[in-house]
Every structure is written in structure tokens, then in C-alpha cells.
Amino acid sequence: MKETIFYNSPVGLLSIANNGDAISEILFVKTENQSEINAIKKRITKPVTPILQKCIAQLDDYFTGKNLYFDLPIMQQGTPFQQRVWNGLLSILPGKTLSYQKFSKRLGNEKAIRAVGTANGKNNVCIVVPCHRVIGSNGSLVGYGGGLWRKQWLLQHEAKYCNGVQSMF
């Protein structure tokens, strides 16, 4: 059974969808219109499908710092290269970051930095597939579809629970 739900997180509303027994989408709801946000919040209900129930429980644990690791089946559509990038993102542990250059090198092609950035930007399962953990070569925060303030929040949140660090940036 396919289902889409909304989740009210500390970094804004998330739209979460499943595709059968896997998570197919976790995206930030992009609106600054408070009446739209309020209308969406009124539609927040408990998920029906077991996979979305599991996803919500794991997001709750993540945002409270109880557990920063996810164990969810994920299925998002993409090219073989995008799939490699997204699978590679899963190997970046909470509280850690990796530059686009080092990530490209890890994938076996140091010159694929732009392609990695493009694939990273097409990730439709934010937070769980941690595209926020990829940063610029000089350590700066660059390129996050949810906004750099969210990227910073997520990295600081993870650093706080993994390393006891209050602020990375």
C-alpha cells in the first residue's frame, strides 16, 4: 500500500512517502506560507503502513538524539551512478562529514566532483540518505536542497550526540 504522510520535525515539515515496503521519499515541504503550513499540520496523522510507522519512530529517535542511525529499506529512482552515490552516502557515519572531492575519490573518480554534487542534489530521501554530510573541500557548507541552515542544524545535531560538540560551524 502506497501512502504519503507529513512529519513535523525540528527542521520543518517533511513529506514522507513509501513505495510498497520501502521509503521512496523524505523531502522538506518548501513553503513559507504560514496558512499552507498550518493546513498541512492539520493533515498530520498516524501512518498506516508498517514501513512509515518504522520511519516515523526512527525519525523521532534521530531528532531526540536517542539513535542517529537508520535501518530502513529505501527505494528511489535514479541512474546507476546516482544509485552508487546514494549508497555511498549511507557509509558516512553520523557526526562525520566528507568533502565532495574525497567522496568522488572514494567512488573511484576524483574528477566526478560535479557529477557527485548533481547526484547528491537529486537525493529524494533526505536525512536518512545523509546528503547533508557532504561539504566543500575547504570545510564550508555548500549545496543543500533543504537550505544551508538545515544542513548546519543537522550536522550540529549529530556532532552534539556523537562527539559532544556544541557547534561545528
Residues identified as active-site: 131
- CA neighbor of 7 nearest in space, from 65, 54, 60: 60
Angstrom CA distances, 5 to 18, 56, 74, 132, 133, stand at: 9, 10, 16, 22, 25
C-alpha cell of 132?
A: 547533508
User: Rounded CA gap, 144 and 124, in Å?
Assistant: 12
- CA neighbor of 17 nearest in space, from 9, 27, 8: 27
Q: Tell me the CB-side half-sphere exposure of residue 94, using CA atoms within 13 A.
A: 22
- CA neighbor of 97 nearest in space, from 69, 125, 139: 139
